[in-house]
Amino acid sequence: MHTDRERCVRAVQSKDARFDGWFFTAVLTTGIYCRPSCPVVPPKPENMTFHPSAAACQQAGFRACKRCRPDTSPGSPEWNQRADLVARAMRLIADGVVDRDGVPGLAARLGYSSRQVERQLLAELGAGPLALARAQRAQTARLLIETTALPMAEIAFAAGFSSIRTFNDTVREVYALSPSELRSRLPKQSATPRTGATPGNPETSPAPGAISLRLPFRTPLNPDNLFGHLAATAVPGVEEWRDGAYRRTLRLPYGHGIVALTPEPDHIACRLTLSDLRDLPVAISRCRRMLDLDADPVAVDDQLRTDPVLAPLVDKAPGRRVPRTVDEAEFAVRAVLGQQVSTAAARTHAGRLVIAHGEPVDDPEGGLTHLFPAPEALAALSPESLAMPRTRRTTFTTLVRHLADGTLHLGAESDWQETRARLLSLPGFGPWTVDVVAMRALGDPDAFLPTDLGIRRAAKELGLPSTPAALTARAAVWRPWRAYAVQYLWATDSHPINFLPV
């Protein structure tokens, strides 16, 4: 969008928050860059230049605005609605792959050369993978500076910097303030709104490893089906709904964590307890992805409203998101456990696996007890120990074996169509299982479930075609947002997945 100058100028002059994250405005006269909704008086159009990423602004020598904090904008919805090289690279960078494995590791995960990845990112985003990862490290550093009482040296390494000097130089370059100056700008005596604790005051600081922050999103956001689905399908010991928050355990690159997510009118309150603070950027990225917070609900709903059948459903409760996952392999296993059984039965099967084979965790604030078992642990199971029909047992053991040995990889870098084909080649994987994995694990916004019982009931009630082939043909007008249409169709039922728990 940043190449459409006239449209960008209109968005900045109207302070339209819908475009936050789509592009960034760099002001030639001040040397700063802002989000489109920046509250200050808009600059003259001739003084504006537009960039596709915060990293591109930083590469061009601009520093972040202290008023609108463009580095905290919701992510571009482009990366969640596309499966090309750039989109998959951006998802991996957000998942911390460049910090852990470098650009060669990123390229290897994508199946391209480092040079090709660099060229594609520069062409579309104006910055290469190192610059994009650097911008993310700067954002993480600022978050830790402002929401914890950690010493600066610990923050530097937790944010992914290789040295304290690089940390200091980057923060000063991006924010025009040193790390200590960023912290000194915070209120001294009262709690900060993001943490309930004052950095530097040990008596009010949260427990070690605990961080509270806000996850922004584009409005509107309807939390009912989003949190209702996660709570209704929660696996005992791994997930729970407690005190108005969805809580779950996280398996992360450097350790494990526990997250509590609470829906608020203008943000999602997020409390993370991590065994290793280096996992903070990855944990945030995965939680945002699970809650579909980078979606553009206005674009989705406007498209679905063009269908007179869906329009009343959208108008009644706009802003539905697709509930996704923090662990693609875990979800694929749970999808198999949920084949042809009720939600309660699927939770029971998963709960047994968790108790028997999950890794124990300590949760002093709730009732979480385990991480979901890793594919390697599940692959070592004896098939006879699984309380399920023989055909589903074969499906389960084949899936976990392929996940464990790496012949099937489900992750942020997955090509949606290629992964669909791989899944369909496995025994017991039919269209429903493949598409529910595509929708909730891979993040395909156009995944559709014409054979799903809830969809068929909704279709009958709304006068839509009842056969899968006819319904698929009718749903062509909902593309490329059929996964969101599924949420609106499911919402016509009284199933617990459609209601925010009380």
What's phi and psi for 271, nearest 5 deg? -120, 115
- 463 vs 309, 413, 457, CA distance in Å? 8, 38, 10
CB 175 within 8 A of CB 182: yes
**Beta strand pairing status for 245-251 and 32-34?**
unpaired
Biggest alpha carbon–alpha carbon distance for the chain: 71
Report the 10 Å Cβ neighbour count for 473.
12
| CA 318/CA 301 separation, integer angstroms | 7
251's tokens:
């398996």
CB 323 within 8 A of CB 226: yes
Phi and psi based region of residue 406 (left: phi greater than 0; alpha: psi -120 to 50; beta: remaining) = left
378's tokens:
């599940």
| CA 415/CA 417 separation, integer angstroms | 6
| CA 258/CA 242 separation, integer angstroms | 13
| CA 112/CA 356 separation, integer angstroms | 40
Angle between helices 280-290 and 129-147 (to 10 degrees): 100
Q: Which residues are catalytic?
A: 34, 452
CB 281 within 8 A of CB 254: no
